[in-house]
């Protein structure tokens, strides 16, 4: 056999070995991922079958933001499950609170509450403490929230503070007030943030920053409360814009007015750079989001119920919303855990496109 034939034979053997190794790696990777999927499915099945639930004996649950939306639906769901619910309402004389009293029965108590006021929160604490059942206060659900959005150069400091006062400091104020009762019962704090608590969402800085702060507060509190036997749980709802009332009716009008105010207060240079189309595009997005979403809040209320009655609840409940095949925000939040930032920046631009600017500033 000549040298050329020998080299050909060696090269052929080398290529065959590479091909076999390649297929071997593919098969091993396939089996690895298949095993992960099988184990995950088994975990989900077994975790549901062997969940240890609280024996419900009318324990007290205090919920903020019950006038409408998620808080309203959760209050009724927990009453149905057997809890005694203290429903914090900003406007206890309005139809939302009236509907709660009519539907909730004797185990539902409406409590006047403004989470931005120390005096109001303290008054709510005294009402809950006085009317608390013998089984004690088992859970506090911080649900109250508002939404105002604008790009950072348009967002006013006043807007940022107003959103943070409700969405973040409201959680802090209520939690610090009620913790003594929860430490005594070894109960739990349930903080409703948002899927945006995992995402740096453009054109939504005030709301997103407050929700990120709520997530950080909850993580720190969970680690501090572990020694007292108090669980801290985060609920992260996805797209439920048509049902939460956070951008419905009067609140939608206020959000639009706030955007128009942001435009008026912006400098001529900023107006020239972005163009009025930017503000109009955000207003259109608000209106579209207020119409899109699932037909019910059942997914969120079931997550709330599990967070309250599960003896060992999850730290986080990411709840998919929307009436489309998938919740784009929740899918993006999951991808955000694993993909590099430069790729996520591109994905954000595709999933949540921003209005084009009027000019490129050099």
- Spans of the chain, pLDDT less than 50: 361-362
CB distance 116 to 91 below 8 Å: no
Distance CA 128, CA 105 (A): 17
What is the model's pLDDT at position 111? 97
Supply the pTM of this predicted model: 0.83
CB distance 110 to 93 below 8 Å: no
Domains delineated in the chain: 57-351 (3.40.50.720)
Catalytic-residue membership of 24: no
Q: Which two tokens stand for residue 56?
A: 């419900």
What is the model's pLDDT at position 361? 47
The Cβ of residue 245 has, within 10 Å, a number of other Cβ atoms equal to 21
Distance CA 317, CA 294 (A): 17
CB distance 107 to 85 below 8 Å: yes
Q: Where are the alpha helices (DSSP H) in the chain?
A: 3-49, 69-81, 95-104, 118-131, 157-167, 169-185, 205-225, 249-265, 268-274, 276-291, 298-309, 328-336, 341-351
Q: Sheet containing 137-142: which strands, arranged edge to edge? A: 108-112, 84-89, 60-63, 137-142, 188-192, 231-237, 316-319
Name residues whose C-beta falls within 8 Å of residue 191's C-beta, 6 or more positions apart in sequence: 141, 142, 171, 175, 214, 217, 218, 232, 233, 234, 235
CB distance 69 to 246 below 8 Å: yes
CA-wise closest residue to 244 among 205, 207, 203, 199: 207
What is the model's pLDDT at position 196? 92
Q: Among the options 50, 207, 317, 342, which is catalytic?
A: 207
Burial class of residue 22, CB neighbours in 10 A (0-12, 13-18, 19+): exposed
Name residues whose C-beta falls within 8 Å of residue 278's C-beta, 6 or more positions apart in sequence: 151, 154, 354, 355, 357, 358
Distance CA 332, CA 164 (A): 24
Q: Is 246 helix (H, G, I), strand (E, B) or coil?
A: coil
């Amino acid at each position: 056999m000549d040298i050329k034939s020998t080299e050909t034979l060696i090269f052929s053997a080398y290529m065959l070995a590479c091909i076999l190794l390649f297929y071997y790696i593919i098969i091993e990777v396939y089996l690895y991922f298949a095993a992960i999927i099988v184990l995950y499915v088994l975990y989900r099945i077994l975790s549901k079958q062997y969940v240890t639930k609280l024996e419900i004996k009318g324990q007290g649950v205090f919920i903020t933001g019950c006038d409408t939306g998620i808080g309203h639906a959760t209050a009724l769901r927990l009453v149905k499950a057997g809890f005694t619910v203290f429903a914090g309402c900003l406007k206890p004389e309005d139809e939302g609170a009236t509907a709660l009293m009519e539907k909730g029965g004797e185990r539902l108590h409406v409590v006047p509450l403004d989470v931005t006021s120390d005096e109001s929160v303290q008054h709510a604490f005294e009402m809950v403490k006085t009317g608390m059942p013998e089984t004690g206060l088992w859970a506090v659900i911080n649900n109250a929230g508002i939404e105002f959005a604008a790009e950072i150069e348009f967002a006013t400091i006043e807007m940022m503070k107003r959103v943070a006062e409700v969405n973040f400091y409201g959680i802090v104020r209520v939690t610090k007030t009620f913790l003594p009762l929860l430490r005594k019962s070894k109960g739990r704090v349930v903080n409703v943030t948002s899927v945006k608590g995992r995402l740096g969402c453009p054109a939504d800085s005030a709301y997103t920053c407050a929700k990120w702060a709520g997530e950080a507060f909850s993580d720190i509190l969970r680690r501090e409360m572990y020694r007292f036997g108090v669980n801290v749980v985060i609920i992260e709802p996805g797209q439920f814009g048509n049902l939460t009332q956070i951008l419905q009716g009067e609140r939608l009008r206020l959000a639009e007015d706030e955007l128009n105010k942001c435009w008026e207060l912006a400098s001529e240079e900023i107006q020239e750079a972005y163009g009025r189309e930017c503000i109009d595009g955000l207003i259109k997005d608000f209106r579209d989001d207020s119409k899109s979403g699932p037909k019910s809040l059942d997914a969120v209320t079931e997550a709330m119920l599990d967070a309250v009655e599960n003896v060992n609840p999850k730290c986080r409940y990411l709840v998919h919303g929307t009436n489309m095949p998938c919740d784009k925000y929740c899918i993006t939040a999951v991808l955000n855990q694993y993909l590099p930032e430069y790729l996520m920046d591109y994905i954000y631009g595709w999933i949540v496109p921003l209005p084009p600017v009027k000019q490129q500033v050099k």
